[in-house]
Structure 1
Amino acid sequence: MTIPDELRDIVAQHQIRNRLVGLARGEDRRDATLVRAAFWPDATTDFGIFAGSFDEYLAWVVPGAAAVPVTQHLLGQTLIELDDDIALAETHVSAYHRVDYGTEHRDILLGGRYLDTFQQRDDEWRILQRTMLYDWTQDLGTAADWSQGLMGAPFSGDHFTGTTTHDHSVAFFGRITAS
């Protein structure tokens, strides 16, 4: 069966956006399987503060810096231009990083755009090259002390705050695969 061009493009865009979302989760949870699923093995990256092959990038982002115990990447709109088996995508990102400076934890925000070249191989879209553009950054100051709860109210359990590894979302999604 031949898929009409418009439907093929919609499916491609959906697959590309799913890769981007999976990658953001993989980076936030330091999950090598999710990160690996978003890139071709021969991919390259350039973040300005780090550039290298996919293997070098994976070794940099997973396990990540011990000084960054929490990250969260929020993806905005993605512009995708398709051309046969190549797609160019620009995705807006706002990222939060809790950074341990040794004497205190600080909350850092940054905003920018991922410029990704995707390639389709065997009906699968993955990133072939990623470049990060930075538009802004903001140091929010000393991070909140979660051990005191939220707004003066203590948490009823220890699973309410996120961490880069082994936070409650792992168990949450594990319910589906455990069934």
Structure 2
Amino acid sequence: MSNHDYSPDQIADREAIRELVDDYARLADRRDARGQAALFIADGRVAVYQGEPGTAEPVQVVNGRDELAAAFGGLQTYDKTTHFNGHSKVTLDGDHATGESSCLAYHLWTEQGQRTLMIMSIRYHDTFVRQDQRWLFVERQLIIDWVDRRPSMP
């Protein structure tokens, strides 16, 4: 389906949801854990998987904005991160939506004098809701497809 098959409201909703996904990545890289958590409904949730949801149990589940902010604060342990969002697909249903998006997450730190780079290929299965004219995450299922960790040169 191309953009001309969507109503102006649907196009605006899709753009708002894409901005939400991009804001999540931008705030992660800026170390704004509270800002990241504010992108979720009050009792929002992140579940982390190393395998497909439904066939694997989550390795971590974080519930509510306070727990989310604490978990997102864990990015402080890295010197730098870059979350690069790729493709995304959104299905709208009134004030609710679901989607899938991809992300390459780069994490850089120094460990025992060695600069280290970890790259994670991540997929998100998302549930969204519009509250007070704003799209928010209800749940993000973070699926780690692969991880590459290696020495890095400055």
Task: Write the mapping of 1:91-106 to structure 2, written as runs, cut at 5 A.
Answer: 91-106=101-116
RMSD: 1.8
Aligned with 1:57 (options 62, 68, 73): 68
> Who is 1:85 aligned against?
95
Partners of 1:129 and 1:44 in 2: how far apart? 5
Gaps of 5+ in 1: 146-179
Partners of 1:93 and 1:127 in 2: how far apart? 16
Map Cα deviations across residues 99-147 of structure 1 (whole Å, 9 max, x no partner): 33334221111112111100011211000101111222212x22223xx
Partners of 1:10 and 1:33 in 2: how far apart? 28
Map Cα deviations across residues 19-71 of structure 1 (whole Å, 9 max, x no partner): 111110101111135313421121011123431113212112126342x1111
**Bigger Rg, which one:** 1
Partners of 1:36 and 1:133 in 2: how far apart? 19
Gaps of 5+ in 2: 1-5, 50-58
Equivalenced residue count is 139
Task: Write the mapping of 1:92-171 to structure 2, written as runs, cut at 5 A.
Answer: 92-139=102-149, 141-145=150-154
In terms of fraction of residues, the more strand-rich structure is 2
Secondary structure in structure 1 of the residue aligned to 2:130: strand
Partners of 1:107 and 1:98 in 2: how far apart? 5
Instruction: Identify which of structures 1 and 2 has the higher relative contact order when contacts are C-alpha pairs closer than 8 Å and 6+ apart.
Output: 2
C-alpha contact (below 8 Å) 1:30/1:63 kept by paired residues: no
Partners of 2:115 and 2:61 in 1: how far apart? 27
| Percent identity between the two aligned chains | 27
Secondary structure in structure 2 of the residue aligned to 1:34: helix
Secondary structure in structure 2 of the residue aligned to 1:62: helix
TM-score, normalising length from structure 1?
0.71
**Counterpart residue identity of residue 153, structure 2:** A
> Who is 1:18 aligned against?
19
Secondary structure in structure 1 of the residue aligned to 2:7: helix
| Range 76-85 or range 95-104, more displaced | 95-104
> Who is 2:56 aligned against?
none
C-alpha contact (below 8 Å) 2:99/2:126 kept by paired residues: yes
C-alpha contact (below 8 Å) 2:88/2:101 kept by paired residues: yes
